[in-house]
């Protein structure tokens, strides 16, 4: 090629001097697939590195992601979707019936369908739940200089890590046949409270209480909203 396919600038080397687009794009083959997998999984600035950092210093790392360096961690939307997919595959592999989100009310069939959709699409469902939690966090931490979307990014990382915690306990439950999902729920809540509190200010204990309250209220308002929406749709269908 003599001109860049992205910006049409005349090429003078192997890469476009304007946008960095390669002059020649290599064919996709086995080496390309292996390289991409290594890029996602490698420990230096890959998903394993992201998990390690989020388990050790979640608040500090997310603050740096928002304000300084966005290449250090895996992108938040990708992270929460991949983590949720891991949880879904784990529970299906071990045929676990107890779910992270569960609802069954014969009088509210539409709400049942919505919750079942969430169970089949935890990645997107968790992002929606994150919106509700972010609302309460923004309310409780309104004096902090973070907008709604930055808080939502925080929750993508926190909820994604929580899903991985659930996945670990799902594997242990599948192997040992012990009921461990309630234990994982407690640990997940403790992690989320700690991570969110650390993000806003780890020195103030009140922040951890507000973090827990926001998380619980977010899940509660999400569930109530789905139930009310289901009731409204059922009433509309009947009439």
Q: SS in 3 state form for the chain?
A: CCECCCCCCECCCCECCCCCCECCCCCCCHHHHHHHHHHHHCCCCCHHHHHHHHHHCHHHHHHHHHHCCCCCCCCHHHHHHHHHHHHHHHHHHCCCCCCCCCCCCCCCHHHHHHHHHHHHCHHHHHHHHHHHHHHHHHHHCCCCCCCHHHHHHHHHHHHHHHHHHHHHHHHHHHHHCCCCHHHHHHHHHHHHHHHHHHHHHCCCHHHHHHHHHHHHHHHHHHHHHHHHHHHHHHHHHHC
More confident residue, 47 or 76: 76
More confident residue, 179 or 222: 222
What pLDDT is recorded for position 123? 84
Query: Per-residue pLDDT tens for 104-139?
Result: 888 889 999 999 888 888 888 999 999 999 999 999
Single pTM value for the model: 0.81
Query: Per-residue pLDDT tens for 144-165?
Result: 999 999 999 999 999 999 999 9
What pLDDT is recorded for position 153? 96
Lowest mean pLDDT among 4-18, 111-125, 170-184: 4-18
The mean pLDDT value of the chain amounts to 88
pLDDT over 90 at 189, yes or no: yes
Lowest mean pLDDT among 5-9, 96-100, 202-206: 96-100
């Amino acid at each position: 090629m003599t001109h860049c396919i992205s910006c049409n600038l005349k090429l003078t080397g192997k890469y476009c001097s304007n946008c960095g687009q390669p002059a020649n794009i290599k064919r996709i083959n086995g080496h390309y697939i292996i390289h991409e997998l290594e890029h996602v999984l490698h420990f230096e600035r890959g998903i394993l590195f992201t998990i390690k950092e989020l388990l050790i210093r979640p608040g500090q790392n997310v603050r740096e992601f928002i304000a300084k360096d966005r290449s250090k961690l895996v992108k938040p939307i990708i992270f929460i979707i991949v983590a949720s997919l891991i949880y879904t595959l784990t529970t299906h592999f071990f045929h676990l019936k107890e779910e992270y989100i569960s609802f069954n009310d014969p009088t509210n069939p539409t709400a049942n369908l919505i919750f079942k959709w969430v169970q089949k699409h935890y990645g997107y469902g968790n992002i929606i739940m994150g919106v509700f939690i972010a609302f309460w966090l923004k309310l409780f931490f309104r004096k902090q200089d973070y907008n709604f979307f930055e808080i939502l990014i925080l929750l993508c990382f926190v909820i994604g890590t929580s899903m991985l915690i659930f996945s670990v306990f799902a594997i242990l439950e599948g192997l040992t046949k012990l009921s461990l999902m309630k234990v994982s729920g407690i640990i997940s809540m403790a992690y989320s409270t700690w991570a969110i509190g650390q993000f806003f200010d780890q020195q103030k204990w009140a922040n951890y209480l507000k973090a827990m309250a926001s998380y619980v209220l977010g899940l509660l308002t999400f569930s109530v909203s789905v139930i009310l929406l289901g009731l409204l749709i059922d009433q509309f269908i009947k009439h």
